Structure 1
């Protein structure tokens, strides 16, 4: 038999890891719903032309083809389909198709798998789970949503601190600030400059400066100005004054820059009050996708910055537009698989067990398996997850079976005496060895043992 080799870039968690992933998803979903976001799901495929129209490259998209095409029915004019590489483009299409049935502003969350054809590496996969939140308006969308959404994400990630997630920092910028500054110093290809600045953490300032001069036609002085802007960061509104002073030194104060600075100030001020120390203005955050028009966000784990952003997004004004109507929005996306991968690989969290069962009901012998089944049925009816031992082995082996699966309790049905009367049942905590009489109509495990839990690794 050929040796089975894993496919890189397609994560498959063991049961314990799946418990961690499910806890993360449940926590995010609960937080999103507390803020009024409605859950939706979109199809996995989109027309290829739609996937490629907003700043992505064709090499990242998986194209769908039938293994054996029927030449009589396959028409060359059919739309080619691709698996979606994120949830933003499908959501924009969803809004356009359902605009007449949605109430605006429409707040949605979406948790689905996406596919991206990139080189697998730490925290980067070809198939992964994303969790998105977006707000879209009809015609216009008030700026305060650009303040609200990163704070909702900060709250959602903060709720995971109790299981061992490191602190997060939400890094924010505003594309209007960047565009206003670049145009003020004489660089008109704003998208090109942003794409290069977006590479700062990967290739460093010297390489970015070279790219700006070689590909954007920037002078050494203009490249220096771009890098000086990117170096500004801070947790309070003083960062706005530093940007304005830099722009003034280059005679680059523009109306667009002032608009962006006012918006950035509002975001930083609100965050300092509602989530102190979490949101940081970082002027090197660019987000290379060309559909962002206002605030942009990236989120890092403190102490794990080399992992890159685990949550990103921004404001977009024209992504959802049919030429007559426009639905501007703002959204963020959490790379759930990237986050779970780091939680597991770094040993930050653990599941108390990998199976839902809190109890194994032992089987005295196969003749009396029905008695064990009856106990299990009674416990399940009261919401207690339980399974029956797979075989009527010696009780020691049945206890070992429970121990291997991490199940804390073993239930022993009462023995049937010579008079045909069944004795009292017993339940044993196999961790402590304590055993006591029990009744399936009243017994229940401690709350901490009822379901698997996710706890910090050291707990």
Structure 2
């Protein structure tokens, strides 16, 4: 068999890299639970009509069918696709289970998603997202839009990563402003402005004039709005100076001011009002967020989301929500690619039980089992070779301790192979220092 070649866009980490990713996932999960969010997991596939009605995603969806699918297969005849985010499946989940859920529902969801994008740094075809959402029945108080960025900031602050900056806008500001200018294709303008970071203001201006039908003056005003940013409520005055008037604009300015001022009170410097943030998906209706890693702005947003009022709705009931999603794989890829994180050992094992001879293997298994019962990761050496080779086996993997069933004193002993210190030990009572119990993930240089 020829050596297989990787498929681009589908990352597979080495074991020690996966340990770093798992540490990040666990930290995020634990933080979400500290804030009272409960876990949800949804299926990987959704009907295509559900996926296609929620935004400009038709070119990104992977279609799913069996190789030998029957023509009369009712489920596959409607078309199934792999979910491209976790918000659309969650909205469907809420509608299906509304009678069993308590509202407002605080949910977190950590799963893989799939997008048919062109792979490049920070963009993958298969990747982990970690989402939180609060969803209500018929109404959802505005204060949850203030809470979202603070929860995510807490989760990311617990990781050994560079600081973040959250950029916030409100879709009502943009829509009200465009209407105040007399622009009819609000959605088209939003999608064009969302491309500012990718293609620059000149090309966006061209899109607005040639494809959306804006006048030159309207296009200049849209770009002027997108240039406004501030860490306090002063951005609202700068918007008013541009001259557009609309009730929806005023409502959005008031809401974004509350978000910015609350973040400024709880975490100064964390959040900035940035009116170029648009978010391309159609379902956002209020506050929207994007998050950058300071010093790594070229990576783009590692965390995004916003308010959605109509994503989950029936003829009789509406379930408005607000959520934010961390692009875990995007974050991990940058941290690993630039060697910004390190793990203290390549395996979870804390103790390697040395094997004097094959006849002693059963006794060594019992020692390892005694350690595991007390939460100490242990494994038995693979071969009964000279102790020097068994110690080197542990060193190559970063395992800090080697356990000798028969030490120099005649009884059991444990050696810290970093310092060479060896002392008598009992597997029913011995405990390593806390910093050695689990692999430690730290920023490089710490």
Q: TM-score, normalised by structure 1?
A: 0.95
Please tell me whether residue 313 in structure 1 is matched to residue 305 in structure 2: yes
Displacement after TM superposition at 1:40 (Å): 0.6
CA 1:291–1:396 in structure 2 vs 1: closer, same or farther (change >3 Å)?
Answer: same
Partners of 1:425 and 1:152 in 2: CA distance: 48
**Match for residue 434 of structure 1 among 382, 400, 421:** 421
1:30-80 superposed Cα distances (whole Å, 9 cap, x missing partner): 111111111110011100111111113322111111112245x53598321
1:24 maps to: 24
Q: Conserved in 1, the CA contact under 8 Å of 2:407 and 2:413?
A: no
**Match for residue 322 of structure 2 among 310, 325, 330:** 330
1:171 maps to: 167
Partners of 1:4 and 1:333 in 2: CA distance: 33
Tell me the secondary structure at the aligned position of residue 261 of structure 2.
helix
CA 1:75–1:265 in structure 2 vs 1: closer, same or farther (change >3 Å)?
Answer: closer
2:149 maps to: 150
1:271-304 superposed Cα distances (whole Å, 9 cap, x missing partner): 1001110100000000111111110110000110
Instruction: Give unmatched runs, 5+ long, in structure 1.
Output: 417-421
**Match for residue 216 of structure 1 among 195, 206, 212:** 212
2:354 maps to: 362
1:94 maps to: 93
1:37 maps to: 37
1:260 maps to: 252
1:345 maps to: 337
Displacement after TM superposition at 1:415 (Å): 6.1
Please tell me whether residue 81 in structure 1 is matched to residue 80 in structure 2: yes
Q: Conserved in 1, the CA contact under 8 Å of 2:65 and 2:76?
A: no
Tell me the secondary structure at the aligned position of residue 206 of structure 1.
helix
**Match for residue 455 of structure 1 among 429, 442, 446:** 442
CA 1:29–1:75 in structure 2 vs 1: closer, same or farther (change >3 Å)?
Answer: closer
- Which structure 2 residues correspond to residues 128-207 of structure 1 after superposition, within 5 A? 128-160=127-159, 163=160, 165-207=161-203
1:62 maps to: 62
1:125 maps to: 124
Partners of 2:344 and 2:156 in 1: CA distance: 21
1:424 maps to: 411
CA 1:31–1:316 in structure 2 vs 1: closer, same or farther (change >3 Å)?
Answer: same
2:377 maps to: 385
Tell me the secondary structure at the aligned position of residue 427 of structure 1.
strand
Please tell me whether residue 235 in structure 1 is matched to residue 231 in structure 2: yes
2:283 maps to: 291
Partners of 2:304 and 2:315 in 1: CA distance: 27
Partners of 2:297 and 2:110 in 1: CA distance: 24
Displacement after TM superposition at 1:85 (Å): 0.6
1:405-452 superposed Cα distances (whole Å, 9 cap, x missing partner): 110111111169xxxxx9211211111122122222221211111111
1:2 maps to: 2
Q: TM-score, normalised by structure 2?
A: 0.97
CA 1:134–1:361 in structure 2 vs 1: closer, same or farther (change >3 Å)?
Answer: same
- Which structure 2 residues correspond to residues 238-253 of structure 1 after superposition, within 5 A? 238-246=234-242, 248=243, 252-253=244-245
Partners of 1:263 and 1:192 in 2: CA distance: 23
CA 1:173–1:415 in structure 2 vs 1: closer, same or farther (change >3 Å)?
Answer: closer
Q: Conserved in 1, the CA contact under 8 Å of 2:283 and 2:310?
A: yes
Runs of 4+ in structure 1 over 6 Å off = none
Superposed CA RMSD in Å reads: 1.4
How many positions carry a matched residue from both structures? 446
Partners of 2:407 and 2:132 in 1: CA distance: 56
- Which structure 2 residues correspond to residues 384-403 of structure 1 after superposition, within 5 A? 384-403=376-395
CA 1:368–1:298 in structure 2 vs 1: closer, same or farther (change >3 Å)?
Answer: same
Q: Conserved in 1, the CA contact under 8 Å of 2:56 and 2:282?
A: no
2:105 maps to: 106
Tell me the secondary structure at the aligned position of residue 292 of structure 1.
coil
